[in-house]
Chains A and B, each alone.
Chain A
């Protein structure tokens, strides 16, 4: 729907909606996905806000946060910048990745484009390496249908080991199922067994050596397998974020998330 008053004029300087204004928020939900898969449309559909939407990749530059209420519980939804991967080659990728790891959302919705699933799955697999609390939302089902593309949602869910919901956010289709799935993940009633990529024995050997030590350092806070992999890769951005987190010693989730996202 193009520009809205929140995305032009003085509105552009008002990025943070409702931060800290949702005292009753039971859960924090992150919204990740490739650029131009309809994340903002989904965000608007779920929250009723009017985040700027438009058909071009990279349009969401403003950080957005909104809430939705499902079955009496308040969910705080955070729209992350669209990224093709989480290997932190760009500022957006780093923001998204740091939030998923250090922000510790209660659930992460990864929005994927049904018309080019393969490329989108790269991101899903990378997210699964970081967190198990994932719901995959296969969006743009209407476009896929027009292009004669069929996706077996059940078997995709079985392959990935996390709930998968088909949706057409523009028409509001699949939103209820998505909310249901998110609720299940967030309150822990639905357990997932995410598919984790296995690497060559040489790498796995190193991971096995590092993982317990990292676990000792950060406890169950973060995914130590993923951290081990990032440290092995010599990823300066992760080391920096980790150092910062250790120095502050803060265990307050919201603070850590807000800090890194800021």
Chain B
């Protein structure tokens, strides 16, 4: 009863409000805004003293270059190139060191199990399955991440991301999307799930959905190592990290182009509408907390990746080993699956193992390449794999890769469905299974189409 009377009380007050202020004639909002702004100005004048401005305004100088019509894009490209070159060139050596250390560990583990007189399947399951997959993830994935991540964080701390949004605003507007999508896209480089959550900064639901559905077209941290390794294979023989960098940058630019194209199509079809306007403040450049970034990248990010590797790669390795060692007829399950997928995969310039690796890699993109290597190793004879040469030998010599295979796998990696975590996040953020499904199937469709066209074109033109 008391609650009802309270609600009635509110209605009574609201009625009185409509008498006091009929049809908003008092213009309260204007009065509030002008009074408050006036007061803020007044106080500021009394408490702030500004001595002469410092001689050089570095913010302005930097912005004149980084957001200028002429130099905005070249400088963006240059920065992107430098970051990737650092990642490619810097990751090479640590990768090899970690690989040799971890595979030395594998031999010791084998020795130990031999000494224990463990049955062969124990050694296979734990050492060749779980440990090896883990070792692969750590050695291939960790160094590029450990370098790219601090670089990305440095740019973010510096205040460069809003400048990217500023530069790209025009394009996103033309595509019918929101200018802030450039920010969420940039976050996607770090992690697609984080990019999807960052879409909350976009207020219009229509444009937020576009941003969420297209976020995975920029390669996340988990896919970079795959792209870098494949780019390395593609330019193998040139032995040049600059060439690898150029390929990776090209792939990233293609991803951005696809982002814009898909945004445009979505805003013409499923998510019709006009882009809303917005204001984005360009924050001052701030000196990044370099020490903190590095420490955090190592303790927070690296340990996180290691943890994730243990959680995902070890079971994945075990599953692969089981698939490769449980036989039906005289073929393993893995080979059955790969054979079954092969005709479809061949049309897209891939093979059955590659497609299988992408499907099994759904929980985390980091493990796609290790799964592929595991699959090939289980089918082949090679046991040691410590460098790009070994990888080249395994892929090209033993499994008949051509440059088209490498290109198609890069395209597929760039465009295919996002990882399970990202899909889950999209489902949670959009609150609908429909959009989460679309977030998986639109990219999958695009990946298949693009790979198909690329492979068929190359074949028709007789390039392979």
A177 within 8 A of B: no
- CA–CA, A140 and B367, complex, Å: 42
| Contact residues in B for A200 (Cβ distance below 8 Å) | 31
CB distance B301 to A234 under 8 Å?
no
**Which of B32-40, B81-89, B103-111, B170-178 has 4 or more CB atoms under 8 Å from chain A?**
B32-40
Partner of B50, one of A35, A149, A247: A149
Known: A55-B286, A150-B51. A118 touches B40 (CB 8 A): yes
- CA–CA, A3 and B24, complex, Å: 46
A62 within 8 A of B: yes
| Contact residues in A for B308 (Cβ distance below 8 Å) | 9
A122 within 8 A of B: yes
Most buried by A among B7, B48, B54, B303: B48
A220 within 8 A of B: no
| Contact residues in B for A247 (Cβ distance below 8 Å) | 3, 7
| Contact residues in B for A13 (Cβ distance below 8 Å) | 193, 421, 424-425, 428
CB distance A5 to B301 under 8 Å?
yes
Most buried by B among A12, A126, A198, A231: A12
Known: A216-B9, A243-B7. A155 touches B197 (CB 8 A): no
CB distance A91 to B203 under 8 Å?
yes
B16 within 8 A of A: yes
Partner of B162, one of A50, A56, A151: A56
A61 within 8 A of B: yes
**Which of A18-26, A72-80, A98-106, A202-210 has 4 or more CB atoms under 8 Å from chain B?**
A202-210
Within 272-291 of B, Cβ neighbours of A (below 8 Å) are at 280-281, 283-286, 289
Most buried by B among A56, A57, A125, A198: A56
A8 within 8 A of B: yes
| Contact residues in A for B46 (Cβ distance below 8 Å) | 152, 155, 159
Measured between C-beta atoms, what is the minimum distance from A111 to chain B in Å? 14
| Contact residues in A for B449 (Cβ distance below 8 Å) | none
Most buried by A among B7, B13, B37: B13
| Contact residues in B for A54 (Cβ distance below 8 Å) | 153, 156-157, 161
CB distance B24 to A210 under 8 Å?
no
Measured between C-beta atoms, what is the minimum distance from B366 to chain A in Å? 10
CB distance A4 to B296 under 8 Å?
yes
Q: In chain A, what residue has the closest Cβ to B419?
A: A9
- CA–CA, A148 and B301, complex, Å: 37
| Contact residues in B for A56 (Cβ distance below 8 Å) | 156, 159, 161-162, 183, 283
Q: In chain B, what residue has the closest Cβ to A205?
A: B20
CB distance B44 to A61 under 8 Å?
no
Known: A35-B281, A56-B283, A61-B197. A9 touches B44 (CB 8 A): no
CB distance A36 to B283 under 8 Å?
yes
| Binary A-proximity of B411-453 (CB < 8 A = 1, otherwise 0) | 0000000000100110010000000000000000000000000
Most buried by B among A2, A146, A156, A217: A2
Q: In chain B, what residue has the closest Cβ to A12?
A: B197
| Contact residues in B for A35 (Cβ distance below 8 Å) | 281
Q: In chain B, what residue has the closest Cβ to A54?
A: B156
CB distance B190 to A2 under 8 Å?
yes
- SS class, residues of chain B in contact with chain A: helix
Measured between C-beta atoms, what is the minimum distance from B412 to chain A in Å? 22
| Contact residues in A for B51 (Cβ distance below 8 Å) | 148, 150
Interface residues on B, range: 35 or more
- CA–CA, A119 and B47, complex, Å: 14
Within 116-164 of A, Cβ neighbours of B (below 8 Å) are at 117-119, 121-122, 124-126, 143, 146-153, 155-156, 159-160
| Contact residues in B for A217 (Cβ distance below 8 Å) | 6, 9-10, 13
| Contact residues in A for B33 (Cβ distance below 8 Å) | 87
Within 208-242 of A, Cβ neighbours of B (below 8 Å) are at 209-210, 213-214, 216-217, 229, 231-234, 239, 242
- CA–CA, A249 and B221, complex, Å: 49
- CA–CA, A155 and B293, complex, Å: 37
Partner of A117, one of B12, B47, B154: B47
Known: A57-B283, A160-B43. A202 touches B26 (CB 8 A): yes
B304 within 8 A of A: yes
6 tightest CB-CB pairs across the interface, nearest first?
A2-B153, A8-B191, A5-B304, A121-B40, A55-B159, A8-B194
Known: A3-B152, A3-B156, A9-B308. 12 other contacts (CB 8 A): A2-B293, A55-B286, A61-B200, A62-B197, A117-B47, A121-B40, A143-B284, A148-B52, A210-B13, A214-B13, A233-B24, A234-B24
What are 17 contact pairs spanning A and B, CB under 8 A?
A: A2-B157, A3-B191, A5-B304, A7-B194, A9-B194, A50-B296, A54-B161, A57-B283, A147-B54, A149-B50, A152-B48, A159-B43, A199-B35, A203-B28, A214-B13, A232-B26, A249-B6
